[in-house]
Structure 1
Amino acid sequence: MLRILLALSLLGLAVPPAAAAVVWRNYSYFSVSGKTLDELMIELSIRGPQVRSTGQRHPGATKLQFNTRLGYTEGGGKCWISAATATIKARIILPRWKDRRKAGRELRIYWDALAADIKRHEEGHVVIAKNYASQLEKELAALPRQDSCKPVAQQAELQIEKVLEQYRKESERFDRVESASFDRRMQSLYQYRLERIESGRLPEP
């Protein structure tokens, strides 16, 4: 799950073009307790981060801030965007289990699979965001030249909103697909991890 913020910096100076959108990650954790799977699931539903878009708590969350810097150039009676740089600040919130040492082996294995899946899911939101940020950079740089910078800036704002909306829809689709396959995925991940532990390819939890 995610929350999106947008910061837009419109510069009259040229800035170096970026090869790809830059992502800054920050991780934070919340604690859960429990000695059974049911207890852990209840804790996740109570203590997990609340996502504003759904009003619900989730086992993990990603809060994203998009920062867009535009460089303008004027010449020959025209104005255009000479550089567009998108930066993403991602705060990823993940669970941390306090009662691991007191729990049974099967639950420890299941938790390791679950925690890894939660992190993979949240990182998936960041990957989607980076892809759309890179797309945004290209589309902003390709905007047509205008007689002054004001209409260029207006076009840029519209383009930013368009791409962000595309990102929101793709991220929501990602959540739906992941949610629908959760039970099947967790069963497979648990079995895979168990087999690797029993074959000696992973240490005992």
Structure 2
Amino acid sequence: MVSAGTGRKWFATLLCVGMVAAGNLVIGTSAHAEVKVTESTKYYSVNGRTGLELGKAMLVGGGKTIRLRHAIAATATKFNVTDPELVVENGRCKIRKLRVNLGLTYYYPKWSGRSKASPSVREAWDVFYQELVKHEKTHGKIAIEYANRLEKELLRTSGTVLARCADFTAVASFRVRSLANELKRKQADFDRREGLSSSRISKLQVQLIKTR
């Protein structure tokens, strides 16, 4: 997420679908999983002839669309796990197959009054916007990295057959929560680095605002 100030916030929604019941256990040895990523982009309109006007428009438009204070761009993530199948292997309950789904939605400003601005403002906007997209795509890459880790963590999770695999869900939930917290920290750390006045995106944002 990119904001107009140095403060950064990032939120992720992790939805883990319940595993199949112990009564649906089958015998199997091979494990298979996949990660499916879907991406979409949404825009909010901004208008202005100067960099300062564009900066103000992004604050207003971003605040209404993204609903995070000072946010002008963001990456929304949604995880869910589908088609899980438990098997019994060497006296342990394990997952034979599942699918980790990751939905990424990018939010960006869209400048509708470009033709009325000076060439210098248009150039400053283009350079800043390119870096803005790069920033949000990095958030997406971080989320994809953790979707793959989630897949691996769930595949190595096991439970006790004698307990009818009742401990499987508890172990899986713990690992999912741990990964979600780690993901949140990594995204926030990235935002903090990008929020420094010395970062490229911060410098380009300041340059845009100063351009007339």
> Normalising to structure 1: TM-score of the pair?
0.80
2:85 counterpart letter in structure 1:
G
Q: Which residue of 2 aligns with 1:104?
A: 118
Gapped runs of 5+ residues in structure 1? 192-205
Bigger RCO of structures 1 and 2 (CA < 8 A, at least 6 apart): 2
Give the RMSD, CA atoms, in angstroms.
Answer: 2.7
Q: Which residue of 1 aligns with 2:105?
A: 91
Counterpart of 1:68 in 2: which secondary structure?
strand
1:68 corresponds to which of 81, 93, 100: 81
Are the aligned partners of 2:75 and 2:107 in contact in 1 as well (CA < 8 Å)? yes
CA-to-aligned-CA distance 1:23-47 (integer Å, 9 cap, x gap): 1111110000111111111111111
Q: Which residue of 1 aligns with 2:32?
A: 17
CA–CA separation in structure 2 for the residues paired with 1:77 and 1:138: 20
CA–CA separation in structure 2 for the residues paired with 1:80 and 1:130: 24
- The 1:57–1:152 alpha-carbon spacing in structure 2 relative to 1, beyond 3 Å, is same
CA–CA separation in structure 2 for the residues paired with 1:188 and 1:76: 58
Identity %: 26
Are the aligned partners of 2:46 and 2:110 in contact in 1 as well (CA < 8 Å)? yes
- The 1:112–1:183 alpha-carbon spacing in structure 2 relative to 1, beyond 3 Å, is same
Gapped runs of 5+ residues in structure 2? 2-9, 208-212
CA–CA separation in structure 2 for the residues paired with 1:57 and 1:174: 17
Any residues of structure 2 matched to 1:36-185 within 5 Å, and which? Answer: 36-49=50-63, 55-69=68-82, 70-74=84-88, 77-147=91-161, 148-181=164-197, 184-185=200-201
Size of the alignment, in residue pairs?
A: 188
> Normalising to structure 2: TM-score of the pair?
0.78
- The 1:180–1:65 alpha-carbon spacing in structure 2 relative to 1, beyond 3 Å, is same
